[in-house]
Amino acid sequence: MNQFKLFFPLALALPVTVGAQTTVGDADLEGVYRLETYSHRLSCHDPSIVVDNVTHPDSWTYYVYGSHLGHGRTDAASNYKAWDDSWAAYETGGSANSLFANAQGVRINYTDAYSTNATTSVKDYQGNTVTFGNFNAHEWQASGNKVCGMQWAPDVIYNKTMKKWCMYMSLNGDHWCSSIVLFTSDNVQGPWVYQGPVVFSGFQGTYTHNGYGAADDWKHTDLAIATGATSLPERYKVGSKWGTYWPNCIDPCVFYDDDDNLWMSYGSWSGGIFMLRLNRENGLRDYQYTYDYEVNGNKTTITTAHANCTSDPYFGKKIAGGYYVSGEGSYIQKIGKHWFLFLSYGGLNPGAGYQMRIFRADKPDGPYKDAYGTPALYDKYRMNYGSAATDNRGVLLMDGYKWDTMLTGETAQGHNSAFIDEKGRAFVVYHTKFTNNSYGHEVRVHQLFLNEDGWLVAAPYEFNGEPVTNEAIASSASVSDAEVPGNYQFIRHQYNQPVNDGATTTVNAKPINIELHADGSVSGASTGGSDKWTRKAGTDFITLSIDGVDYKGVLVKQRLDYTSIPAVCIAAVADDNGSTEIGKDSFTYQQEVWASKADAKAAVKYTLDKISIPFTDGATINSNVSLPEQGLLGTTIAWTSSDNNILREDGTVLGNGPVTLTLKITKDDLVYTREYSLHVDKGGEGSYIDGTTSGIKGIKTGRTMTDGRTFNLSGQRVSNNYKGIVVVNGKKIVRR
DSSP 521-546: BEESS-SSS--EEEEETTSSEEEEEE
Q: What is the pLDDT of residue 707?
A: 57
Higher pLDDT, 411 or 700: 411
- Mean pLDDT, residues 89-102: 88
Query: Would you list the DSSP string of 13-68?
Result: -----TT--EEE-GGGGTTS--B---S-----SS-EEEEE-SSSTTS-EEEEE-GG
- Residues 512-540 have a mean pLDDT of 94
Whether residue 440 is predicted with pLDDT greater than 60 in this model: the reply is yes
Could you tell me which of 556, 558, 587, 583 has the C-alpha nearest to residue 570?
Answer: 556
Instruction: Please write the tens of the pLDDT for every residue from 546-568.
Output: 988 999 999 999 999 999 999 99
pLDDT beyond 50 at 591: yes
Residue 704, pLDDT score: 44
Give the Cα separation of 720 and 611 in Å (integer): 47
Which pLDDT belongs to residue 273? 99
Tens digits of residue pLDDT in 457-468:
999 999 999 999
> According to CATH, where is 2.115.10.20 located in the chain?
88-289+316-324
Whole-number pLDDT of residue 583: 57
pLDDT for the residue numbered 483? 98
pLDDT at 97: 86
Task: Report, as an integer, the average pLDDT of 112-124.
Answer: 98
Residue 582 has pLDDT above 80, yes or no: no
- How many angstroms separate the CA atoms of 488 and 492, rounded? 13
pLDDT at residue number 503? 65
pLDDT of residue 611: 97
Instruction: Quote the percentage of the chain above a pLDDT of 90.
Output: 79
- Note the pLDDT of residue 690: 37
pLDDT(479) > 80: yes
In the predicted structure, residue 50 carries a pLDDT above the cut 90: yes
Domain 88-289+316-324 has CATH 2.60.120.10: no
Q: Is the pLDDT of residue 290 over 70?
A: yes
CATH architecture entry for 605-681: Sandwich (2.60)
Collapsing DSSP to helix, strand or coil, 600 comes out as helix
- The region that residue 48 occupies, defined by phi over 0 for left and psi between -120 and 50 for alpha, beta otherwise, is beta
Residue 199 has pLDDT above 90, yes or no: yes
pLDDT at 18: 32
What average pLDDT score do residues 8-20 get?
Answer: 38
Tell me the CA distances in angstroms from 654 to 388, 499, 597, 624, 650, one per residue in order: 50, 47, 39, 9, 11
Residues of the chain with CATH 2.40.128.10: 481-604
> Do residues 319 and 310 touch, judged by C-beta distance below 8 A?
no
Mean pLDDT of the chain: 91
**Average pLDDT, integer, range 715-721:** 73
User: What's the average model confidence in pLDDT over 49-69?
Assistant: 95
pLDDT on residue 95: 84
Which residue intervals of 125-283 are DSSP H helices?
137-140, 223-227, 242-245
Q: What pLDDT shows up at residue 698? A: 47
Share of the chain above pLDDT 70, in %: 90
- Res 8: pLDDT: 35
Does the pLDDT value for residue 100 go beyond 70?
A: yes
pTM attached to this predicted model: 0.89
The model's confidence at residue 589, banded by pLDDT at 50, 70 and 90, is confident
pLDDT of res. 14: 33
User: What's the average model confidence in pLDDT over 670-691?
Assistant: 74
Residue 303 pLDDT: 86
Task: State the pLDDT confidence band at 645, using cuts at 50, 70 and 90.
Answer: very high
Q: Is the pLDDT of residue 734 over 90?
A: no
Instruction: Dump pLDDT digits (tens) for 370-381.
Output: 998 999 999 999
Over residues 129-154, mean pLDDT: 98
**Which letter does DSSP use for residue 667 in this model?**
E
At residue 712, the pLDDT reads 80
> Is residue 444 within 8 Å of 79, Cβ to Cβ?
no
User: What integer is the mean pLDDT of 38-65?
Assistant: 95
Query: Roughly how many angstroms between the first and final C-alpha of the chain, as a whole number?
Result: 96
Mean pLDDT within 628-657 = 97
pLDDT at residue 75, rounded to an integer = 87
Residue 581 has pLDDT above 90, yes or no: no
Q: Looking at residue 93, what is its pLDDT? A: 76
Residue extent(s) of CATH 2.60.40 domains in the chain? 605-681
In this predicted structure, the answer to whether residue 579 has a pLDDT above a threshold of 90 is no
Q: Is the pLDDT of residue 706 over 90?
A: no
Q: Write down the pLDDT at residue 723.
A: 72
Lowest-confidence segment of 94-108, 502-516, 618-632 by average pLDDT: 502-516
Q: Which residue has the higher pLDDT, 24 or 510?
A: 24
- The yes-or-no verdict on residue 5 having pLDDT over 50 is no
Q: What is the pLDDT of residues 325-364, one digit of tens each?
A: 999 999 999 999 999 999 999 999 998 999 999 999 999 9
State the pLDDT at residue 657. Answer: 95
pLDDT value at 529 more than 80: no
Return the pLDDT at 695. 47
Task: Give me the architecture of the 481-604 domain, per CATH.
Answer: Beta Barrel (2.40)
Q: If residue 200 lies in a helix (H) or strand (E), which one and from where to where?
A: strand 193-200
